[in-house]
């Protein structure tokens, strides 16, 4: 089924988007196709140069070009991307460029966008610096990011937008907390996610006498991290007491809200930028236990202690009365709606793109 716009175009320029996947079934980048759809409402013509084109319909005013970006193929990737870029801008110079999570692709074309005096904006939400961004930042008009701590760069070019989550898809329910505690983590199973720390935490909870299960949803973002899954399997085998850990393959993003309904607590140990899954769990009304500084700075801690451990957070959480828990979950949902909604994100990025 095609997606149709209402022809209420307000932008004076056309739009070129670089992204990794225009595919609503992608494990990591499924949200990028929705961003394309939402932005296309305001631009008469939208071009998308994507590394991968998969499932999902696009509006009739969107032209999608698959660059077939392949990990490790630096020369062929670069030449194909620049060829695709030139193919667009040589026939349509009235363009503003938005690089959505694609700082490497952005760095390849930014000398050209600078020379052609095209506005060029990059979404960058990583706590660490990258070589591409270090080289690229001087040629960009703006760097947009989710939170203050999700971007290592500062200055007038940096704009804070929040995360882009369609809150209407996440039904809010006050989840009852009690034994057995069904913990869940959704996301990439990369070493940086410290899932081994989460498994040890669940083992500690069990050893304290609280019956628990742990479901891990996801796969490594890169084959070079496949060893980490084996490490997690071996870790489970090494526990003294049986630990019920279930490993599941990634699911479509549209399935996440319903899937989360069967769990009581979302756990998370990544130190870095604000992960979308934390906000999604919060929108569902699931208590989040995380040591992520960005999440804590926005939503708070259960123990009201800045550097508390996951164990401290868990004990503080289960010590709340049902009324106290409900009030806190509602407060966090409101923050998520106000600061991380898709509609708010689109409004902010449109202002930057069109002004």
Question: pLDDT tens digits, residue range 15-40?
Answer: 999 999 999 888 778 889 999 999 99
Q: Give 330's pLDDT tier (boundaries 50, 70, 90).
A: very high
CATH tag for 14-160 (out of 2.70.70.10, 3.40.50.300, 3.40.50.2000, 3.40.50.620): 3.40.50.2000
CATH tag for 168-339 (out of 3.40.50.2000, 3.60.20.10, 3.40.190.10, 3.30.390.50): 3.40.50.2000
Q: How much is the pTM?
A: 0.89
Tokens representing 84?
Answer: 């695709």
Domain chopping of the chain, boundaries: 14-160, 168-339
- CA–CA dist 159, 140 (Å, integer): 12
Do the domains spanning 14-160 and 168-339 agree at the CATH topology level?
yes
Q: Give 9's pLDDT tier (boundaries 50, 70, 90).
A: low
pLDDT averaged over every residue in the chain: 91
**Sequence-separated (6 or more) residues with CB below 8 Å from residue 210:** 179, 181, 318
Q: Are 256 and 215 in contact (CB under 8 A)?
A: no
Q: What percent of the chain has pLDDT over 90?
A: 76
Question: pLDDT tens digits, residue range 149-182?
Answer: 999 999 999 999 999 999 999 999 988 888 889 9
Kindly tell me if the per-residue pLDDT of 281 is higher than 80. Answer: yes
């Amino acid at each position: 089924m095609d997606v149709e716009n209402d022809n209420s175009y307000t932008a004076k320029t056309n739009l070129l988007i670089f992204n990794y996947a225009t595919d609503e079934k992608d494990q990591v980048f499924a949200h990028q196709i929705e961003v394309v759809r939402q932005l296309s409402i305001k631009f008469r013509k939208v071009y998308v140069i994507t590394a991968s084109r998969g499932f999902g319909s696009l509006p009739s005013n969107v032209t999608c070009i698959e660059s077939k970006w392949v990990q490790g193929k630096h020369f062929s990737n670069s030449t194909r991307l620049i060829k695709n870029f030139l193919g667009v801008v040589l026939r349509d110079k009235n363009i503003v460029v938005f690089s959505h999570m694609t700082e490497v692709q952005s760095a390849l074309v930014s000398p050209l966008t600078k020379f052609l005096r095209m506005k060029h904006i990059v979404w960058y939400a990583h706590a660490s610096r990258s070589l591409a961004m270090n080289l690229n930042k001087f040629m960009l008009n703006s760097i947009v990011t989710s939170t203050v701590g999700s971007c290592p760069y500062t200055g007038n070019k940096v704009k804070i937008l929040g995360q882009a989550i369609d809150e209407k898809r996440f039904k809010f329910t006050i989840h009852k907390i009690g034994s057995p505690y069904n913990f869940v983590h959704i996301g990439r199973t990369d070493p940086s996610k410290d899932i081994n720390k989460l498994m040890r935490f669940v083992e500690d909870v069990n050893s304290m006498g609280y019956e628990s299960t742990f479901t891990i949803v996801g796969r490594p973002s890169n084959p070079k991290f496949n060893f980490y899954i084996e490490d997690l399997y071996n870790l489970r085998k090494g526990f003294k007491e049986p630990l019920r850990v279930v490993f599941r393959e990634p699911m479509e993003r549209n399935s996440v809200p319903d899937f989360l309904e069967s769990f009581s607590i979302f756990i998370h140990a990544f130190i870095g930028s604000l992960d979308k899954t934390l906000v999604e769990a919060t929108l569902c009304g699931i208590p989040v236990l995380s040591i992520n500084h960005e999440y804590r700075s926005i939503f708070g801690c259960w123990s009201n202690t800045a550097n508390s451990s996951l164990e401290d957070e868990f004990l503080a959480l289960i010590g709340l009365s049902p009324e106290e828990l409900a009030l806190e979950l509602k407060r966090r949902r409101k923050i998520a709606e106000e600061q991380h909604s898709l509609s708010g994100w689109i409004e902010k990025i449109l202002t930057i793109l069109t002004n």
